Amino acid sequence: MFADVTLAIASIAFAVWVYLMVARGGFWRMARFDDLAPAPGFMAWPSVAVVVPARDEAAGVADCVRSVLGQPYPGELTMVLVDDHSQDGTAQIAAQAAAAIGAAQRLTVLSGQPLPQGWTGKLWAVKQGLALVENRAAQPDYILLTDADIVYSGDVVTRLVARAQNERLAMTSIMAKLRCESFAEKYLIPAFVFFFAMLYPFAWVRRRDRATAAAAGGCILARWEALRAIGGIESIRGALIDDCALGAKLKTQGPVWLGLSQHVRSTRASDTLGEIGQMISRSAYAQLRYSPVLLIGVIVVMAIVFLAPVPIALLGHGHGPACVLAAAAWLAMALAFQPTLRYYGQSALWGAALPAIAFAYMIFTVNSAVQHFQGRGGMWKGRAQAQVSSSQ
């Protein structure tokens, strides 16, 4: 009986990995999606307004402001930074950074208003920035939503706009390359991108005949008219996973594009497992639509697909179909993880550790549910934002 069970589990795990590698949009082949080509010239480049929500971002906001306003973009490029009640001088640092590169006239720093009922903090800040842009005499062609820890290099904004123009996209988004220096980051960050791509295969997001839609919140270029057509940022005002919610809305207005670029990086440091765990726990249960049934289902599936192959392969004494299938599943997941590891410049040996990495994500997912039931769901920078229904 036990042999039959282990054989069934090993067979399921192997079959799932065959499916993931063959039929899941090639999500694991990361280099395919780092494909922003050099930008062709236009007679008139569209205008871009950048909106940055910022709450206690003193550590990285200067680099963000300098990198954006210092972009060699041929058209009009302005920035609105919404200071969401920061206590660390974020607004002053941003203004000084813009002045240092002679771009003070292109930056507007807006003091955020109190958070109203039904909004997450980030989206309320974005709403205020968009309202200021909308009240200007000349409306922009595009809105670039970016986070205060994101740094742009090269001519990536020009390339991003060119892609949007050439393909008439409603949204063009880049998954920022996250910082990967500390042990905690090396352990968990590449897998974060790997799992995101598994959930939302970039190739499927790009396809017009697929319903799959997503975006990466650190860098979202939206066509202004498309954003207005969906009802603005108000249409997702309570969404915890706001980037994917916005991507889904914008895909109703036209094709969207999601990719990678070495020229869009996050400088946010996460030196401990707890810090990264907090980031994951903030939205993991929301991803499961706050459903205990889905939570149990996901934990069971992850246990079978990621964890079970290890003991079956190691304790099978090197023979028998269950051992062979389990070892093949373990090898398949390690190989599938390799392109992501190469993209992040990490050792290939982390591939064999993917079961242990997945186990950590399982713990963070369960913790996300626990926090939700304790009234601390979606905790970020002092606010519990899961299923917001009252002012935080």
Average pLDDT per 10 consecutive residues for the chain, totaling 392 residues: 87 98 97 92 91 96 98 97 96 98 98 92 96 95 98 97 96 97 98 98 97 96 98 92 95 98 96 93 90 97 98 80 96 98 98 98 96 76 57 38
What b/e readout covers 321-351, taking b as 16+ CB neighbours within 10 angstroms?
ebbbbbbbbbbbbbebbbbbbebbebeeebb
- 367 and 228 belong to one structural domain: no
Give me the residue label for tokens 């992501």: 340
Containing structural domain, residue 9: 2-28+288-373
The CATH number assigned to the domain holding 48 equals: 3.90.550.10
Position 382 in a domain? no
Is 153 in contact with 135 (CB distance < 8 Å)?
no
Q: Could you please report the per-residue DSSP string of 34-63?
A: ---PPPPP-SSPPPEEEEEEESS-TTTHHH
Beta-strand pair 171-177/219-223 = antiparallel
Position 46 in a domain? yes
Length of the chain: 392
Residue whose C-alpha is closest to residue 59's, from 206, 255, 268: 268
- 87 and 9 belong to one structural domain: no
- 21 and 46 belong to one structural domain: no
In three-state secondary structure terms, 239 is: coil
Which residue, of 214, 239, 273, is where some domain finishes?
A: 273
Position 379 in a domain? no
The pLDDT of residue 386: 57
Is 133 in contact with 80 (CB distance < 8 Å)?
yes
Contacts of 305 (CB under 8 A, 6+ apart): 12, 13, 16, 17, 329
- 232 and 211 belong to one structural domain: yes
What tokens appear for 122 in the block? Answer: 């980030």
The pLDDT of residue 374: 86
**What is the domain count for the chain?**
2
- 170 and 319 belong to one structural domain: no
